[in-house]
Amino acid sequence: MYLDERITIIHGPNGFGKTAILRLLDTLFSQSDLSLSNSALQSLPFEEFRVCFNDGTDFWVSKANVAQGENKDEDVIKILQGSILHFKDSAQKVSLTLPLSSIYPLSLRLQRLRLRNRASGWEEVAADNLLGEMQKEEREVIQKNIKLLNTVRGSVSLRLIETQRLQRMFTSTDLVPDEPEFEVQPVIENTVASYSQEIARIIEAKLAESTALTQSLDRTFPARLVSPTVRQRSVTEDELRAKLAALEGKRKYLMDAGLLDQEGSDAIQVQEKDQIDESTKAVLSVYVEDAEKKLGVFNELANKIDLLKRIINKRFLYKEMMVSKNQGFVFTNANKVVLPPTELSSGEQHELILFYELLFKTSPGSLILIDEPEISLHVVWQEQFLEDVQAVTRLSDIDVLLATHSPDIIAGRRDLLVELKGPN
């Protein structure tokens, strides 16, 4: 990773492993269990995949040649033994090498392991029985090391943005009549429509937070107004006028972001011709202090919405996107006709989803993996992509690793490029 720029680009022809690298990273740092039989660690063809940290900690997965025997699906363990995990922590001088299958029964999260036997079907076997021959001291050492490994894995916040972005699938559980089990049904929906509803919920939660703070400040306003501290403040008339003007600018900024309505504003208007006496100064100084706190609740959200709108509306030549606290995303065409999210082009939806995820689905310090950001994008949009991602990394405090075929995404930034080479 290029730490200063916070963006690294993986580039190479089809089949060179760009997506495989992203999937392996996602497995190592996002999945709760490394040992799932359908994970990338098991399904992808590779000899060794190594992750090295700046502090000297590293761990890697290597493929092991394990004889499977004639009965290939006798149990889950034989499938899982196809990979071996190696872990080294230089600070604590811990070295660990074990089959991924061992992590499953030794994990503190899993007490029992289900084994599939061709003759008897599914059965549960106590985890300890699988390692009955292992000495207690040896087992405790491995448990301790695995706990340390999971601590290192948990220290990395990572999110993978895959190529299938326009629709999202989630599951709903509906109780089946007369059955103790739950039937899980997949539900597919348009991602932009889903995120539109989500941003409305995010705004609603922030408004509730602001309302609670407002009520708290309003209850204590009279007491603070007559306190000796307020009476002793030395605030000039020019300073108060400047702060009031700044508050007005902040309110307009929040209105443009869709977070405040014009109606119901508690703004105090002070005309230039109005004189501000000492008692008015005291009232205004407390009012300004409270207003700054109330509006400050929206700072982070407003900045993200503002950047998202600027990026998207720079792209949408004949459409405009606004954000509403009630409706979420609102799209209009050149004739001001409101459009449903599904009427956006595939390129418009891809771009909106990508930047929404970067801004609203990440936490500071995260590593974000993007697979093929160029999908459905015009060449001009591809050329603008890196510049806009850099604006997001600065605001959201994230790092980005992206895999692309497109020379236009690179846009002359070969200093950020890692070229994948074929086997020697």
Q: What is the pLDDT of residues 193-230, one digit of tens each?
A: 999 999 999 999 999 999 999 999 999 988 888 777 76
Last residue of a domain, one of 250, 284, 299: 299
Is 208 inside a domain boundary? no
107, pLDDT greater than 50: no
Is residue 15 one of the residues assigned to a domain? no
Q: 403, 368 in Cβ contact below 8 A?
A: no
Does 403 lie in the same domain as 312?
A: yes
* Domain co-membership, 126 together with 90: yes
Classified as helix, coil or strand, 288 is helix
CATH number at residue 372: 3.40.50.300
Residues 48 and 152 in one domain: yes
CA atoms of 252 and 324, how far apart (whole Å): 14
Is there a domain that residue 377 lies in?
A: yes
Three-state DSSP class for residue 224: helix
Same structural domain, 248 and 287: yes
| Amino acid (1-letter code) at residue 255 | M
- Tell me which range, 83-92, 229-238, 386-395, is most confidently predicted by mean pLDDT: 386-395
Range of weakest confidence among 114-123, 306-315, 335-344, 399-408: 114-123
Tokens of 67: 């004889």
Number of structural domains the chain divides into? 3
Mean pLDDT of the chain: 78
- Single-letter amino acid, residue 196: S
- Asked if residue 262 and residue 320 are part of one domain, the reply reads no
pLDDT, position 97: 61
Q: Are residues 367 and 292 in the same domain?
A: no
**In this structure, are residues 99 and 65 in contact, taking their beta carbons and an 8 Å threshold?**
no
Same domain, 364 and 407: yes
- CA distances, 64 to each of 42, 49, 70, 120, 418 (Å): 11, 13, 18, 28, 28
User: Using N-to-C axis directions, what is the helix angle for 346-360 and 379-396, rounded to 10°?
Assistant: 10
Are 285 and 318 found together in one domain? no
Reply yes or no on whether the pLDDT at 84 is more than 90.
no
Is residue 171 included in any domain, yes or no? Answer: no
Pairing, β 112-117 against β 328-333? unpaired
**130, 105 contact by CB (below 8 A):** yes
The arrangement of strands across the sheet holding 48-52 comes to: 48-52, 58-63, 83-89, 94-99
Region 265-275 average pLDDT? 63
Q: Could you tell me if residue 242 is inside a domain?
A: yes
Whether 300 has a pLDDT exceeding 80, the answer reads yes
**pLDDT per position as a tens digit, 140-182:** 766 776 777 777 788 889 999 999 999 877 655 444 445 545 5
Does 56 lie in the same domain as 81?
A: yes
Q: Give the pLDDT band of residue 270 (cuts 50, 70, 90).
A: low
Which domain does 321 fall in, by range? 301-419
Q: Quickly state the pLDDT bin for 131 (edges 50, 70, 90).
A: very low
Residue 149 domain-assigned (yes or no):
yes
- Specify the DSSP element, H or E, that contains 78: helix 76-80
Q: For the CA atoms of the chain, what is the radius of gyration?
A: 28
- Which residues have CB under 8 Å from 23's CB, separation 6+? 40, 44, 160
Residue at a domain's end among 127, 156, 185: 156
Q: Is residue 45 part of a domain?
A: yes
Q: Count the neighbouring beta carbons within 10 Å of the beta carbon of residue 300.
A: 12
Structure tokens that stand for 83 in this block = 């990979």
Q: Does some domain include residue 190?
A: no
51 and 143 within one domain: yes
Q: Is the separation of the CB atoms in 123 and 115 below 8 Å?
A: yes
Percent of the chain whose pLDDT exceeds 70: 69
- Among 281, 299, 317, identify where a domain stops: 299
State whether 284 and 364 are in the same domain. no
Condensed to tens digits (0 to 9), the pLDDT of residues 225-258 reads 877 776 666 778 888 888 888 999 999 999 999 9
Residues 255 and 317 in one domain: no
> Which 8-state DSSP code applies to residue 268?
P
CB-CB contact of 60 with 407 (8 Å): no
C-alpha closest to that of 298 among 225, 203, 415: 203
Q: Of residues 91 and 86, which shows the higher confidence score?
A: 86
| DSSP track, 160-216 | EE-S--SEEEEEEEEEPTT-SSEEEEEEEEEHHHHHHHHHHHHHHHHHHHHHHHHHH
